[in-house]
Chain A
Amino acid sequence: MSLFFIVALPFVGALLPGLMNSAGRQACAGVTFTVTLAALIGLLSNLPAVIAGETVTTGIDWLPLLGLNFNLMLDGLGFFFACLILGIGLLIIAYARFYLAREDNMGEFFTYLLLFQGAMVGIVLSDNILLLLIFWELTSLSSFLLIGYWKHLPEGRQGARMALAVTGMGGLAMIGGMLILGQIVGSYDLSVILQNREMIQASPLYLPALILILLGCFTKSAQFPFHFWLPHAMAAPTPVSAYLHSATMVKAGIFLMARMWPVLSGTTEWFVIVTSAGLITMVLGAVIALFKHDLKALLAFSTVSHLGLITMLLGTGTAFGAMAAVFHILNHATFKAALFMSAGIIDHEAHTRDIRRLGGLRKLMPVTFVIATLAALSMAGIPLLNGFLSKEMMLEEAYHTVLFENHWLVPALATFGSLFSAAYCFRLIGHVFLGPVRDDYPAKPHDPPFGLWGPPAFLVSLVVLIGVAPFLAEPFVKLVTASVLGEAAEVPKNYIKIWHGLVPALYMSIIAVVGGLLVLAIFRPLLRAWDAAPRPEAKTIFEALIAAVVALAQKIIQPLHDGAFTRYAGIMAITVVAAGYHAFATGTIGEATRTMQPITPIAAAGWSMLVAATLALVFMHRNRFFALILIGIVGLMVSVAFVYFSAPDLALTQFTVEVVTIILLLLALNFLPNRTPIESSSLRRVRDGAIGIAAGVATMALSYYYLLRDTVSPSISEFHLANSYKGGGGTNVVNVILVDFRGFDTYGEIIVLGIAALLIYALTETLLSGPVRARLLNRKPDQPRAGDMHPTMMVVLTRVMMPVVLMVGFYIFLRGHNEPGGGFIAGLIVSIAVVMQYMASGFSWASARLRYPYHGVIGAGVLIAGLTGIGSWFVSKPFLTSDFTYVRIPPFYKFELATAALFDLGVFLAVVGAVMLSLESFSRLARRAHVPESEHPMDIDPSREEREAV
């Protein structure tokens, strides 16, 4: 199966559990299981190629200019991890089916799980580090959802937040590291990066890249000092803990270290950082784990400790260390997932995970006892179980590792860590299962149904199988090791076997096991000492840190962001002007390449009117009706300027938009106060005036300099002029650009316009359904109303004009392709014609004659435009490719038929719908309670008659 499908299957499949939720728990889990199984089978179908040592690759260019390509590759290492992710995923799904309670939303759970699974598979199969980063962040997000799955538990939410904060920060650091790495090599493809060990290690940027990438790995894999999030993430449901925190997510950091091993390892920096972090984590985790009473907390810290062990092995930089690491990843995944599931079973059956309340479960839960004991003994490093083999290899490697020029440091610490590791394993067995049966369990424990113990039992059978017959696992481990090492080193010849003779590792192992038993024997005094000893609480520190960051952010933001919008606007204007001035003062300005055109009297007259109207607007804006007239003059002058400077289309558009805008503002003024009171001090007005003048001078200078210079690079307009008729079939270049060259932009714009209109409609609806409604209905108009609300003259005139205006609109629409006009302008003209009817004959009269709702008109417009675009797919052309032809039907002249006209029809309808819906919404607010709704066009205001009668 193609690698694409393996990665895509979980993501696509993530849609299914939610859909199957209502079909029952069985169906929901079944479909999740099937999806995962299909991906696993797909993965296994690539096994022959992987065994043959090939690297299966596939890829498509996504954003090649950024170096971001959807390239996937599958080698031994990727196969190994993908197998773990999907294989253990299968067991987890089966387990979760029985674990989750009836009130848990199973569809939601499995959706998150599949998202997570897909992201993990994506990480291990990525051949592009940018792609890998995307999947990396996806695992952080989806694990956040999974850890916080029990939303009602505050610990769950806190744990999820902490995990996201820590791994998210690490992810950010890693993005930096990966980008540096890509810059050094000149490619973001992993396969290329892995070939360039010398170049990377010789680069001066090697150390920053290494530190940033390791930050990402350490946070994800819970290495000291970032280990604290993992135990808090244990608030998650047990299947999540078993999946994320034993086999998958926390191994992502390990995976990346293994993946980057050929190019990053082998240097002193790598050795010191990685080995010491791993060593500290291993010892620290093991010691803390011993004293934890919560079963899952114990397992969490033991996971931290084992991750430290693997990190340390990768840190040594030797081929043998890498092989031991690979082997231990495999072994740890098997026994730790089994242990987590056992802990879940105990929690499920005994209703507590507190070790102090347990004990004697051996007789009550024999099956669970066998499973958990075998897994725990393997973790402790008892021979004939797989944990023993990799622990021996670890001790062997530690024996040969010299850190800080001290031959004793690493072996001693490794033995010490193993000793505590053995001790907590023995404590787990001894304090939970052995001992006398108690009579104060919160619930009567008994063995669960097969669905719960089957998956861990399968894992434990692997534990025993590998432990007894290590030669079965050896070829696979060596295959994976080979792909970890790449060309950097040879796979070691050493056999993985139970008996190596009387080597130092065996003595260290014996010390660890015997010491572990001794520690357990003196556990009670040790625990007292531990409880008495002061130690930093990671959660408190973390929360204090977060609180400090929040306080700092608030300190900065509060004074700036105090709800005074005028202040924001002022600050923004000043900033933009200052930045512009800086650019102007420091940059170079080319010579003027154009000469100024002479000022004509007409232009001077228009300019004077614009200036007069604008100044009057500034000084007299408090009279709002007058201000509307003034702004109308400004708009008119702008339209005239467009005509004058060869832009007839713009002039038509500006002019018609001006009309509807003024109507809109008039409708709004109906409800707003008619005057703006004087509120600001004269000082403040001078200040605002100064800001305005500064901005005005800046834009004027910019425009002036700009207008007298040609563009630096040639404009693409020549292309449009040259191809408008040849390619688009129209002589109005502006219209052809709108409906053809840049049709997709226009398509987006009519959608935006439609959304704006719908937003206005929605806001109106909200207003009319709230407390505002009563106030509107009982509103007293602030000015006397006209006696004849619908003057006869106006009614007659608008009705006579209606067909004429419609015809003009139609004409403007049709000629748009070749002459000034088109869908936008025609739409505005037709809207004005309809608005006139509303104004003359009244809202109710016009609404009653409305045959199609305006929402529908907008929708039809967008749909027609979209379908026109899709139509070009049927002739295998890209979206919105236009076509045109000339036909001649006697007795007419030859005329043109263009698909662009159909698109323009969509634009037309969308504009009509949007404009009308906006204006209609405003008008609906004006309805009042005491004025009867009349459908009669030429009535008089009855309230006036009543007043006269009184």
Chain B
Amino acid sequence: MELLVASAIGLLTAAGIYLVLRLRTFPVILGISLLTYAVNVFLFASGRLTIGAPPILTDATNYTDPLPQALVLTAIVISFGMTAVVVMIALGAYLGADDDHVDDRSETEDAS
């Protein structure tokens, strides 16, 4: 099970980095979203994987680690805010200049 989660985190990161390295804004935003998933799952997994023991107090004695969950919960909501801001900036840049390239191409010769 651990291998599945670890490989999922790795795949999300790899795909996220690849998309972040694209030249247009939209794939970069998608890449950032994938990286956000990877980071959130990684943080969550720092509480180790437990099945069937949610941190809701009952008569049980074994619970999963609640702390990473609380951290990740706010991280998810904040990441929405961040995505929204980035999308807005990308949109503003596109509407203003009719160009959705990520790089400032006026300064780079290497536009390939």
- The smallest C-beta distance from A922 to any residue of chain B, in angstroms, reads 7
Q: Give the complex CA separation of A22 and B95 in angstroms.
A: 45
Taken residue by residue from 70 to 88, chain B's Cβ proximity to chain A (1 for < 8 Å, 0 otherwise) reads as 1011101111111111011
| Cβ-defined contact, A615 with B108, below 8 A | no
Which residue of chain A is the closest to B70 with respect to CB atoms? A737
| Cβ-defined contact, A692 with B74, below 8 A | no
Consensus secondary structure, chain B interface = helix
| Cβ-defined contact, B2 with A704, below 8 A | yes
Q: A565 contacts which chain B residues (CB < 8 A)?
A: 102-104
Which residue of chain B is the closest to A563 with respect to CB atoms? B104
Q: A819 contacts which chain B residues (CB < 8 A)?
A: 56
| Cβ-defined contact, A753 with B78, below 8 A | yes
- The smallest C-beta distance from A140 to any residue of chain B, in angstroms, reads 35
Q: Give the complex CA separation of A617 and B27 in angstroms.
A: 10
Total chain B interface residues with beta-carbon distance under 8 A: 90
The residue that A696 contacts in the complex, of B10, B88, B96, with Cβ under 8 A, is B10
Taken residue by residue from 15 to 53, chain B's Cβ proximity to chain A (1 for < 8 Å, 0 otherwise) reads as 111111111111101100110011011101111111111
Most central of A567, A706, A708, A716 by chain B CB within 10 Å: A706
| Cβ-defined contact, A657 with B77, below 8 A | yes
Q: How large is the interface on A (under 10, 10 to 19, 20 to 34, 35 or more residues)?
A: 35 or more
The residue that A922 contacts in the complex, of B22, B58, B88, with Cβ under 8 A, is B88
| Cβ-defined contact, B91 with A672, below 8 A | yes
| Cβ-defined contact, B10 with A671, below 8 A | no
| Cβ-defined contact, A644 with B8, below 8 A | no
- The smallest C-beta distance from B108 to any residue of chain A, in angstroms, reads 5
| Cβ-defined contact, B48 with A707, below 8 A | yes
| Cβ-defined contact, B5 with A752, below 8 A | no
| Cβ-defined contact, B110 with A597, below 8 A | no
A911 located at the interface, meaning its Cβ lies under 8 Å from any Cβ of chain B in the complex: yes
A672 in contact with B100 given A650-B72, A693-B14, A717-B66 (CB within 8 Å): yes
| Cβ-defined contact, B23 with A566, below 8 A | yes
A671 in contact with B53 given A704-B2, A749-B77 (CB within 8 Å): no
- The smallest C-beta distance from A597 to any residue of chain B, in angstroms, reads 4
Q: A599 contacts which chain B residues (CB < 8 A)?
A: 1, 3-4
- The smallest C-beta distance from B74 to any residue of chain A, in angstroms, reads 5
| Cβ-defined contact, A716 with B67, below 8 A | yes
A775 located at the interface, meaning its Cβ lies under 8 Å from any Cβ of chain B in the complex: yes
Which residue of chain A is the closest to B10 with respect to CB atoms? A700
| Cβ-defined contact, B22 with A566, below 8 A | yes
The residue that B44 contacts in the complex, of A642, A716, A818, with Cβ under 8 A, is A642
| Cβ-defined contact, A653 with B13, below 8 A | no
Q: Give the complex CA separation of A915 and B80 in angstroms.
A: 9
A676-729 with Cβ < 8 A to chain B: 676-677, 679-681, 684, 688-689, 691-693, 695-701, 703-704, 706-708, 710, 715-717, 720-721, 724-725
| Cβ-defined contact, A760 with B85, below 8 A | yes
Q: A760 contacts which chain B residues (CB < 8 A)?
A: 84-85, 88
| Cβ-defined contact, A704 with B11, below 8 A | no
| Cβ-defined contact, A918 with B55, below 8 A | no
- The smallest C-beta distance from A743 to any residue of chain B, in angstroms, reads 11
Q: A818 contacts which chain B residues (CB < 8 A)?
A: 56
A907-937 with Cβ < 8 A to chain B: 911, 914-915, 918, 921-922, 925
A672 in contact with B103 given A614-B15, A708-B2, A725-B57 (CB within 8 Å): no
Q: Give the complex CA separation of A95 and B23 in angstroms.
A: 63
A566 in contact with B74 given A614-B34, A617-B15 (CB within 8 Å): no
Q: Give the complex CA separation of A617 and B52 in angstroms.
A: 31
- The smallest C-beta distance from B112 to any residue of chain A, in angstroms, reads 6
Q: A732 contacts which chain B residues (CB < 8 A)?
A: 55-57
A621-671 with Cβ < 8 A to chain B: 621, 624, 627, 631, 634-635, 638, 641-642, 644-650, 653-654, 657, 660-661, 664-665, 668-669, 671
| Cβ-defined contact, B14 with A717, below 8 A | no
- The smallest C-beta distance from A701 to any residue of chain B, in angstroms, reads 8
Which residue of chain B is the closest to A608 with respect to CB atoms? B4
Q: Give the complex CA separation of A641 and B44 in angstroms.
A: 11
The residue that A703 contacts in the complex, of B45, B83, B112, with Cβ under 8 A, is B45
A597 in contact with B95 given A566-B103, A717-B65, A918-B84 (CB within 8 Å): no
| Cβ-defined contact, A715 with B1, below 8 A | no
| Cβ-defined contact, A737 with B38, below 8 A | no
Most central of B67, B73, B85 by chain A CB within 10 Å: B73
- The smallest C-beta distance from A605 to any residue of chain B, in angstroms, reads 11
A594 located at the interface, meaning its Cβ lies under 8 Å from any Cβ of chain B in the complex: yes
| Cβ-defined contact, B45 with A707, below 8 A | yes
A820 located at the interface, meaning its Cβ lies under 8 Å from any Cβ of chain B in the complex: yes
Q: Give the complex CA separation of A437 and B58 in angstroms.
A: 102
Which residue of chain B is the closest to A773 with respect to CB atoms? B95
- The smallest C-beta distance from B48 to any residue of chain A, in angstroms, reads 6
Taken residue by residue from 759 to 785, chain A's Cβ proximity to chain B (1 for < 8 Å, 0 otherwise) reads as 110011011001110011000000000
| Cβ-defined contact, B18 with A646, below 8 A | no
Q: Give the complex CA separation of A535 and B41 in angstroms.
A: 68
| Cβ-defined contact, A645 with B11, below 8 A | no
The residue that A618 contacts in the complex, of B6, B19, B73, B104, with Cβ under 8 A, is B19
- The smallest C-beta distance from B29 to any residue of chain A, in angstroms, reads 7
A745 located at the interface, meaning its Cβ lies under 8 Å from any Cβ of chain B in the complex: yes
| Cβ-defined contact, B74 with A824, below 8 A | yes
Q: Give the complex CA separation of A652 and B67 in angstroms.
A: 17
A737 in contact with B66 given A646-B52, A657-B80 (CB within 8 Å): yes
A341 located at the interface, meaning its Cβ lies under 8 Å from any Cβ of chain B in the complex: no
| Cβ-defined contact, B34 with A696, below 8 A | no
Most central of B45, B74, B92, B107 by chain A CB within 10 Å: B74
A756 located at the interface, meaning its Cβ lies under 8 Å from any Cβ of chain B in the complex: yes
- The smallest C-beta distance from A770 to any residue of chain B, in angstroms, reads 7
Q: A707 contacts which chain B residues (CB < 8 A)?
A: 2, 5-6, 45, 48-49
Q: Give the complex CA separation of A212 and B7 in angstroms.
A: 52
Q: B27 contacts which chain A residues (CB < 8 A)?
A: 621, 627, 676
Q: A697 contacts which chain B residues (CB < 8 A)?
A: 10, 14
Which residue of chain B is the closest to A748 with respect to CB atoms? B74
A757 located at the interface, meaning its Cβ lies under 8 Å from any Cβ of chain B in the complex: yes
A699 in contact with B66 given A566-B102, A570-B21 (CB within 8 Å): no
- The smallest C-beta distance from A656 to any residue of chain B, in angstroms, reads 9
Q: Can you add 15 more A-B contacts, CB < 8 Å, to A649-B69, A749-B74, A771-B96?
A: A562-B108, A563-B107, A564-B107, A600-B1, A614-B15, A631-B30, A644-B51, A665-B87, A707-B5, A708-B2, A731-B56, A742-B70, A753-B77, A756-B82, A757-B84
Selected A-B contacts with CB under 8 Å, 22 pairs: A562-B104, A566-B23, A599-B1, A646-B52, A646-B53, A649-B73, A650-B73, A654-B40, A657-B76, A668-B87, A677-B24, A695-B13, A697-B14, A704-B2, A706-B46, A707-B49, A721-B55, A731-B56, A732-B56, A737-B67, A745-B74, A753-B81
Q: Which 3 residue pairs spanning A and B have beta carbons closest together?
A: A700-B10, A696-B14, A563-B104
